[in-house]
Structure 1
Amino acid sequence: MPATMTSRALLLVGVVLTAHKFLCTAYVGGDGFSVEFIHRDSVKSPYRDPSLTAPARVLEAARRSTSRAAALSRAYAGADASSADGAVSELTSRPFEYMMAVNVGTPPTRMLAIADTGSDLIWLNCSNGAGAPGLAAARHARAPAPAPAPAPPPGVQFNSANSTTFGLVSCGSGACRALPEASCADSKCRYLYSYGDGSQSTSGLLSTETFTFADDQGTRGDRAMRVANVSFGCSTTMIGSFIGDGLVGLGGGDLSLVNQLGADTSLGRRFSYCLVPYSINASSVLNFGPRAAVTEPGAATTPLIPSEVKTYYTVDLRSVKIGNKTFAAPQEYPVIVDSGSTLTYLANELVDPLVKELTQRVKLPPAKSPEELLPLCFDVSGVGEGQVAAMIPDVALELGSGGGATVTLKSENTFVVVHEGTLCLAVVALQFPPVSIIGNIAQQNMHVGYDLDKGTVTFAPADCARSSGSLYI
């Protein structure tokens, strides 16, 4: 491996995740690296509920999406109330959808963390700190406010005392200043991330470690890429019930994984994913570096626009089209592109005419919406899946000023089965102004690439199961 890619080269976590007994693989190459993007309901997820039917899982995801949208909205409100740069301390990923494996430390500890485009900080569950100088003392440096009982021990904890590359970050560092809420503990940087309702939080010391991404399957040689001194939160105190071994922030803020890779490697600040539909038993794929380039036919690129919260990837939605009908969005209408939200949330001015037009065009009997959660449902009992898809018209999103990019949503991007025989629209009226969201159902079977250096996001239709199949069987 070239010298430029040794101490500060990149890492690729290709993992037989022994602690969870689920297979996670990764591909490393000169054009970047790729890891599995595991949906929480995947057969590879330790959080899958085997008692649920496929439609029931979709309905549960829709319920989580409502909580997620509320959290994103609170973050926006916090940004408006706090500072011009939109710094907020609220962690918005409680209702998560995707995970990735990470190898941390020397020797590495394999962990399965939430992968979140709506958060920045990387934080991992750490042991109580008894083995690391300064870590145990810092744990008690500031007494927490009265709160619910701490969460039970997580599945995997990182023990910094066992790693030769672990370090602590000083209070005066740029990384510490990038935290929305930080304090000092023996001159070391202590962080606190809390949920908006105060019921859950994580705190600990901002630390540095070596992250390693490697092909553990041995089918592509013994190459491994390492990134030294990745800043992350070593979480020693947790209130509430967190799922996963930590969180990898993929947002636009300075402490996110994509920004740190851009600063410490030659890969640039870019990543992409290709989301496999819920109905397909395969992992999605998450790409970094040149591998994140979206080059498929029909690719549509639109500028990222400034957001109240720097973390969020926001684009300008100009209109929604069905056939020859165009429904204009409110003027200067920002929409967050978010992999962690299941549903798509748009203003009433767009959803109401969309529902009316689909009601007229789709020749299927109406059905009752479960829990009145979704605005339009049809009875598809006895109708073949292919027949249903042919009856649903495409919906086009026109993005960017001047209609610079058109993203076409097929039936699988707009409708989901939430009960046996019940098909419902996965686009709902905005419940938590001012946040509008393009969710992950709308992004299925699309290669979506974010380039922070160019300030763009690109969408292209793709067969995501086929794209990831050669990597993740």
Structure 2
Amino acid sequence: MQDRDLSEYSPSLSSTSRHLSCDHQLCEWGSNCKNPKDPCPYILNYDDLENTTSAGFLVEDKLHLASVGDRTARKMLQASVVLGCGRKQGGSFFDGAAPDGVMGLGPGDISVPSLLAKAGLIQNCFSLCFDENDSGRILFGDRGHASQQSTPFLPIQGTYVAYFVGVESYCVGNSCLKRSGFKALVDSGSSFTYLPSEVYNELVSEFDKQVNAKRISFQEGLWDYCYNASSQELHNIPAIQLKFPRNQNFVVHNPTYSIPHHQGFTMFCLSLQPTDGSYGIIGREYAPRHVGFAYLLSLTIMV
């Protein structure tokens, strides 16, 4: 399948777009509207970035889809989906950024996969894969291969609100740590990976013991554990392994981020951050190289 150059979407330039009204069944914030026929607002708070939000209005429009497979039998169709068109964004990640939008891919009723499945167009599943350059594609209705590993999603207060999984244990290199597991949110919208503070402290301490490189201070950076990579020696960078239920493993073979030519030398950092929250976040820096398919009530891991 060939990639296409896509222009920015603007509802005002689309003949099929319309605002969702506040009295629509999918309008979560409708009770805050003065008039039930006003455009339905949305506000999204990003868990991984303090005080970072996106707010705007919900828009319904037609999504153009093509089937994958034999070109001679390819089908084209249009499907109604709901998107969030941003009007105001703020916080550490969006300071100075232009208004953007939101396309829901979660398990909720308003997400694009859920709407397509309810319309009978696809199975209730999709695949989302990026390469290391953040280029990739979404395949709606794709369950992946039967040989791939899977682990169940976890409900939060009885509801599947996002893609939470249970991490039973974790290892650095060949050393598996004793602390009990934790919940983690698999989130391609999060740039980086976060661990509960106690888990983070134990894991980075073990990583620091095993890596054979000199640790250096990088005060203006995002991460606390950075190392000088300029020497000619071959660095031993231990893998990080998360163990899920069903005896499934998620291995990040190189959990570092390289920063070339900083103050005259090259460095690499363990790209993990602590969080005071009760759960971790597996973000885009780790997930796209390993997590391929999310569907129904389980996550499938590409190995």
- Give the structure-1-normalised TM-score: 0.52
Q: Which residue of 2 aligns with 1:289?
A: 141
Letter in 2 for 1:250: L
Q: Report the secondary structure of 1:249's partner residue.
A: coil
Letter in 2 for 1:286: I
- Counterpart-to-counterpart distance in 2, 1:329 and 1:275: 31
2:106 is aligned with 1:254: no
Is the Cα–Cα contact under 8 Å of residues 305 and 316 in structure 1 kept in the other structure?
Answer: yes
Q: 2:206 aligns with which of 357, 380, 392?
A: 357
Change (3 A) 1:213 1:321: same
Aligned-pair RMSD on alpha carbons?
3.4
- Counterpart-to-counterpart distance in 2, 1:198 and 1:316: 26
2:246 is aligned with 1:394: no
Q: Report the secondary structure of 1:350's partner residue.
A: helix
- Counterpart-to-counterpart distance in 2, 1:373 and 1:394: 20
For 1:93-242, list aligned pairs within 5 A: 111=9, 157-159=10-12, 163=15, 165-166=16-17, 169=20, 172-176=23-27, 179-182=28-31, 187-188=36-37, 190-194=39-43, 201-203=55-57, 206-214=58-66, 220=71, 223-227=75-79, 229-232=80-83, 238=88
Q: Which residue of 1 aligns with 2:292?
A: 448
Is the Cα–Cα contact under 8 Å of residues 22 and 30 in structure 2 kept in the other structure?
Answer: no
Q: 1:415 aligns with which of 215, 231, 256?
A: 256
For 1:267-278, list aligned pairs within 5 A: 267-278=122-133
Change (3 A) 1:434 1:234: same
Q: Report the secondary structure of 1:265's partner residue.
A: coil
User: How big is the shift at 1:267?
Assistant: 1.4
User: How big is the shift at 1:373?
Assistant: 3.0
- Give the structure-2-normalised TM-score: 0.78
Identity score, percent: 23
Of 260-269 and 348-357, deviating more is 348-357
Q: Report the secondary structure of 2:215's partner residue.
A: coil
- Counterpart-to-counterpart distance in 2, 1:294 and 1:380: 38
More strand by percentage: 2
5+ residue gaps in structure 1?
1-11, 21-110, 112-156, 462-473
Q: Which residue of 1 aligns with 2:170?
A: 320
User: How big is the shift at 1:370?
Assistant: 3.9
5+ residue gaps in structure 2?
46-50, 91-95
Is the Cα–Cα contact under 8 Å of residues 240 and 252 in structure 2 kept in the other structure?
Answer: yes
2:290 is aligned with 1:436: no
User: How big is the shift at 1:394?
Assistant: 2.0
Is the Cα–Cα contact under 8 Å of residues 200 and 273 in structure 2 kept in the other structure?
Answer: yes
Letter in 1 for 2:300: T
User: How big is the shift at 1:208?
Assistant: 3.5
Q: Which residue of 2 aligns with 1:9?
A: none
User: How big is the shift at 1:424?
Assistant: 0.6
Q: Report the secondary structure of 2:230's partner residue.
A: coil
2:300 is aligned with 1:458: yes
